[in-house]
Structure formats: C-alpha cells, structure tokens
Amino acid sequence: MNTPEPPFRTTPSEPDVEPRLLRAFLAVAREGHFGHAARSIGVAQPALSKQVQQFERLLGVVLFDRTPRGAELTPGGRLIVPYAERALAHNRRLVRAARSVATGREGAVVLTVSAPLPGPPGGLLAETLRSFRTGHPHVQVSVTGLDDHDETAALVGGRVDAVLTWDEYPADGCVSEALIEEHTSALLAREHPKAHAPEVTVSELADDPLLFPLRERGHCWAQLQVAAQAARVGLNVIPTAPSAVTDLVAAGLGVSAVPASFRFAAHPEVAFVPIPGLYNRMSVMWRGDDDSEAVADFVSACRATARSLAAAHPDVWRPAHRDPAP
C-alpha cells in the first residue's frame, strides 16, 4: 500500500526563512554593528546575534566578518541583501491582503503613516491627509506616533509605510525627501513677561525651565542645542511628554519651543512667540522597494501640501532649503 505524499514538502536545499531572521540580518547590514542594530529594531543584542547565526547556519553561508569595530558584510552577505529586502516586502503585502479580508474590506488598501503627534489642525499632516483622502476614498489610512529613534526601524520592518519626520537621513533601502521648513516658536504662558514680545531669543529661553520631549523629538532637540551653544547659554531642560507640554506651560511650570503651526490649535492660555532664525526641516521617508501606488500618491500629496502651506503661511513655513552639493 502506497503512503500518500504530504501536501507540502521542504528539502534541506530550500529551507524556510522566518521574517525575524531577515530583519535581524538587514539591521546588522544597515548598521554595521550588532549593538546598534539591536537597538534599532528593539531587541536584545544576544538575541540578535543568535538570530543572525541561525540565519547563517540555515543558508550555509557566513554573512558577516566580525571585527572589533563591528560587522562587515562578506561577499555572500552583500549578495543576500536585495533578496532579503524583497522577501520582507512581499511579506508585508501578504499581511496587508490578509488584514483587508479579516476586516471585511477585501481589496481595500491600508496605508500606515507615522508622524510627530500631536499634530495641529491645519498642519502638514492634517492637510496632507485631507488632500489624500479626497482623491483616495478606497484607501484606509492609519496614523501612528513614534519616537524619533523608532521611526527607521518601523519603516524598515514594515510596521509603517511612510514617515513624516524631522530627520532627513534615511537608512539604507529607504528614500527621504525634504518637504518644508517650519519656524520654531517659543511657547509661553499668557502671563509670562515675554508673552507679548515680538520675538524671544534662545538666550531668553534659558531664563526658565524648558519643558521639552527629549526622547520623542531628539532631532529637534539637537537643533535647539546647536542654537544654544552658538548663543553660549545652557538650557534648563525638563523631559516632558509631547502631549503634556502645552498644558504644563499654560500652568506656568516652564516654557517650551514648538513648531509655529501649533498656534493653529488656538489654546487660550498660551502664547506663541517667534524665535528668530530657528527652523526645523520636515521630510517624508518611504522604502525604496515599495512599489505601492498608495505610497507614491501619499508622497505626492505631501509635496503638494508643503508647497501650498509655504505659499499660504510664509510666517510659519518656507520651502525646504537644499544644501549645496559638496
């Protein structure tokens, strides 16, 4: 009697590769260092090392030369990188298709966007989404807020499809495009002595406790630090969650520095006073191998919205200045 063949058969020459192994490999390839890679994708370094070793044993190929300074791709590792990236891209498409069926929206497109939150009404995020949804009613848009240091890992790992960010330097395999530069304002309580001044300098911010989301808005903090160093002052910073900054400033517990568009929220107990010469650049990032029409159209909507906002509110935004090529 013949034994029926199993419906699926794997052979040693065609091993199944788990997505977590691909993500671990690509993180080390991107960072060139196991410790940095582990932090970028939010896992412990010993676990990441084991995953990379498991991937190497599975393929029968040494992917990295371990050195005292980090990890360098071997010729075999360099060959594998584009295949790993494409495999993860296909996995993301599979998950999206399954989710659309599970939510009763078979055939619907889901676009997940990360952006600094909270975002004001009339700001870049709100206006971009308004424009995009008008032309794409079939696309389900999900918005999430991530800390600055989590954005790249979320994009590379497929947890988000596009990122609006104050950072402009993408990871390998991702694309970044500068959209707009936004003026920075001092956020002060209405009773603050400088609340009705025409401007507030960075030096004057040093007179009060500075309530600032250091962890969540690291890129903006770095730019503010540069300005403080140029003014030869030290800032008395108190780490504060983004959602709490306005209420704590209104209560008179300190001051802050925020994007000028926050004034559109019209909080009655605070004042927004320009900080001369201080701008932050907003960029949009996406994966270079993502051929999704929804992502391409979202990026186009970002460009159009940025141009419109810079023209309509030149006191808040200006077109992104591109540094000259070296």
Residue 85: predicted pLDDT: 78
| DSSP for 33-93, written as a single string | SHHHHHHHHT--HHHHHHHHHHHHHHHT---EEEETTEEEE-HHHHHHHHHHHHHHHHHHH
Tokens at residue 264, please? 């559109």
Q: What pTM does this model have?
A: 0.70
For 148, half-sphere exposure in the C-beta direction (CA atoms, 13 angstrom radius) is: 18
Q: β-strand 162-165 against 109-114: which pairing, if any?
A: parallel
Residue 97: predicted pLDDT: 66
C-alpha–C-alpha distance, residues 226 and 15, integer Å: 51
Positions of the chain with pLDDT lower than 50, given as ranges: 1, 3-11, 324-326
Containing H/E element for 237? strand 237-239
pLDDT in tens, 87-120: 877 777 677 666 666 655 555 678 899 999 888 9
Residue 6: predicted pLDDT: 45
Q: β-strand 174-189 against 317-319: which pairing, if any?
A: antiparallel
State the Cα angle at 38 between 36 and 42, rounded to 5°: 120
pLDDT in tens, 253-267: 999 999 999 999 889
Greatest Cα pair distance in the chain: 94
Residue 151: predicted pLDDT: 84
Residue 285: predicted pLDDT: 94
Residue 266: predicted pLDDT: 85
Residue 289: predicted pLDDT: 81
Residue 104: predicted pLDDT: 57
